Amino acid sequence: MLTSFSTIALKSPVDGSLIFPCIIGSGEDWVLVDTGYPDTSGDLLKQLNSYKLKATLLTHDDFDHVGGLSAIRKTFPTLPFWSSEPEAHALSGLVSSERLLQAEAGFDALPEDMKSGAAAFIELLRNQDRFEIKTTWQDGQECLPGWQVIYTPGHTRGHISLFAPDSLTLIAGDALVFADGRLEIANPHYALDLAAAVRSVARIQALRPTSILCYHGGWVKEGIDDMLEELQRIYASM
C-alpha cells in the first residue's frame, strides 16, 4: 500500500525551536497530524492550501499539539477531529485535561519564583478551546490506508503514534524526541506515567522502524535501533 507524508516545520513561539506537524495520506485522503500553537496557525494554514483534508488527528492533548485547533475550525468548519479514545473526553471539553490536573496538583509545591509562570500556564490550559472529537481510534486500527494507529501511552494516558508498515515509517508525536543527536523520552519529569513511556519505547523498537518523525527534533533515519535500545537501558537503571 502506497503511503505518503509531508512534514510541516513551524517555529515554536516559546523557545524558537522547530516543531513538526505533518500530513499523511494515500490517494485523495489527507489527514493533518497535530496543529502546533495558536501563534503558528498562520504558517500552518499556508502549508495546507494544496491539500484536500479529510480530518485532523491529534496524537495527544498538549497545548503545543492542539493549540492550532481554533484556526483549523475557522478555516475548515466541517473538518472532523480524531484522537485515541482515552484522549477524547478531555479534548472534547467533557473533563479536565491530564496536563491541567497535573499542573494544578503540583502548584503548591513549586518554589515561589516559579509560581508566576506556572499560574500563567494553568490559566492557558483552562482557557484552551475544546472541540468535539468525531472519531476515536483503537490500538492497531488503520486510520488511513497504509497507516496504523499505535497506542504509545506514558507522556499522556492516551498518546498515540502512527506507523506505516510498508515504509517502516513512524510518526512518534511525543512518544520520542530527538535532541543532541539521540532519541529521548519527551520531558520525562512531566510524563504522566514514565514506566508506561519506557514500555512504549520498547513497543516502537519492536516495529523496527527505519525512519521516525519526532514532533520535537524532526526526522531520524540512522542508528534508530541502537538508540532505542540504549534509551531503555538508561531508564531500566534508574
- pLDDT of 161 reads 98
Model confidence over 158-167: pLDDT tens digits?
999 999 999 9
The whole model's pTM is what? 0.95
Rg of the Cα atoms in the chain = 17
Top pLDDT among 52 and 87 is at 87
Handedness of CA 188, 190, 193, 197 (dihedral sign): negative
- pLDDT of 49 reads 86
- pLDDT of 227 reads 98
CA distance 176 to 184: 6
Model confidence over 135-188: pLDDT tens digits?
999 999 999 999 999 999 999 999 999 999 999 999 999 999 999 999 999 999
CB-based contacts of 227-230 (< 8 A; 24+ apart in sequence): 227/182, 227/183, 228/183, 228/201, 228/202, 228/204, 229/205, 230/182
Residue type, 173: G
